[in-house]
Amino acid sequence: MSKFDKIAVLIPCYNESKTIEKVVRDFKNSLPEATIYVYDNNSTDNTAELAEKSGAIVKYEYKQGKGQVIRSMFAEIDAECYLMIDGDDTYPAENAKEMIDIILNKKADMVIGDRLSSTYFNENKRPFHNIGNKTVRFLINILFKNNIRDIMTGYRGFSYEFVKTFPVLSKGFEIETEMTIHALDKNMGVKNVIVTYRDRPEGSESKLNTYSDGIKVIRTITNLFKNYRPFSFCATLGTIFLLMSIVLFVPVFIEYLNTGLVQRFPTLIVSGFLGLASIHSYFSGIILNVISHHQKQEFEFRLKQVKQYKKMENNE
């Protein structure tokens, strides 16, 4: 049986030799009772050696991508409370105790370290990242009817129940979006803590690619909206098909009323197929919504099993 920590600090790393020592030291000072794990993701510098020298437990994930690292972290580490932080020294350790307290004592399942409500837009020197964060926040809150302040932050606290029931599907940086949507869909307790953000120190380079990672995030949002809100997704498609069908049908119908003839049969046929596609989309949404509801019932059952296992571990 694996070790069950009270607090586990999880730091995914790829080539963070310039900052990892400071990050580990800061969180050891802020959370002396925590166990700090650094997961090295094929770094080509001495990140792992420096992390171990600073007092962290170093583990390795050889499949490239932040999502791959988090999959291993969540599977291998058992703890009553988790704090995940990037290894680039952009987030302060001063907020760690507050975030941990919300998980342990206020029974939240996820605490978001909110950069966007503090210094992010002043500190961050990449304007397209600013636009991207605002766009993703807007889309998530509109599609999932919520008011999450920072969707893509790398500073988060988690309960044991969240970590052990979260199915990691993303491979890269879109994992943060997936975490947020999972918490919203499964009615988990989400809290917000405003944190100070500072830009990377000189010589430390971001691993994010503004355009390719941005496209991946938007694609992830679309896929998750389809999977988590199937009726809304299909109803939206059905409405689009219906409107297109009407736009094509109306001129043909007006011409028929005026002349008694239908001269544009191809247009009428396309209009008919779009109408059928609209009906098909609505009924598909109803069927998929029933399946989604059943999956939520299954999730609640799994959640009870996880909670029972946690109680057993705490009693031993």
Do the beta carbons of residue 35 and residue 220 sit within 8 Å? Answer: no
pLDDT at position 213, please? 65
Res 214: pLDDT: 72
pLDDT digits (tens, 9 = 90+) for 300-316: 988 999 988 888 877 76
Give the model confidence (pLDDT) of 164-214 as tens digits: 999 998 888 789 989 999 999 999 999 999 999 887 666 656 656 656 767
Q: What residues of the chain score a pLDDT lower than 50? A: 1
Q: Residues in the chain, how many? A: 316
DSSP-assigned letters across all residues of 205-249: -----HHHHHHHHHHHHHHHHHHHSHHHHHHHHHHHHHHHHHHHH
In contact, 15 and 41? CB cutoff 8 Å: no
Here the tokens at position 315 are: 């009693």
CA dist 143 and 177 (Å) reads 13
C-alpha distance from residue 157 to each of 98, 208, 223 (Å): 10, 22, 25
57 beta partners: 37
In the prediction, which pLDDT does 210 show?
A: 59
For the question of whether the overall pTM of this predicted structure is more than 0.85, the answer is: no
pLDDT at 128: 61
pLDDT at 126: 65
